[in-house]
Structure 1
């Protein structure tokens, strides 16, 4: 009963959309949607250009940082509300470490 068991090594990988991480692809997809809903080709091109610029900026910003850098940045910079509040971690205004 010697069966080879597969042990996954990458349980905590970032979600992917094709070759891109979801947090890098989200600005392009959002701006693509906004440009499509605007109804003109010029505004579609402008929105798509803004989306590409934002995703390039985000990918360069998080290049040498933790893989969940975008989520950490959102937690510390955006105001807490039911969508961004995490129950396990303390509120972002409590910045003194205990211990």
Structure 2
């Protein structure tokens, strides 16, 4: 009863789109979509060039960092939901009672 069992070596790899990580390919895809919606060739070329530039900047930024650097950065710098990002409410680490 001998069977060949495949044991995966990489369970926690980042999502990929072809050869590129999803966080590097997303700006190009978003710029491609916005340029397509613009309807002119010059706007399409400008949006695509901007998307490639942002993508290269992100890839250089995360070059010597953890593979999930972009996800960690988004987690710490963006609010959980737009509805909970109120400037009038204090941060959750302030525990002082008023009244």
Q: Same fold (TM over 0.5)?
A: yes
Alignment of 1:1-99 (within 5 A): 1-81=1-81
* Unmatched segments (≥5 aa) in structure 1: 83-91, 95-99
Give the gaps of 5 or more residues in structure 2: 83-90, 94-99
Q: CA RMSD in A?
A: 1.7
CA distance in 2 between partners of 1:93 and 1:57 (Å) = 33
- Offset, 1:2: 3.3
Structure number with greater Rg is 2
Q: After TM superposition, where is structure 1 displaced by more than 4 Å over at least 4 residues in a row?
A: none
Count of aligned pairs between the two proteins = 85
**CA 1:93/1:53 → structure 2, altered by over 3 Å: closer, same or farther?**
farther
| Deviation at residue 93 of structure 1 after TM alignment | 6.0
Structure-1 separation of matches of 2:92 and 2:21: 29
TM-score by length of 2: 0.78
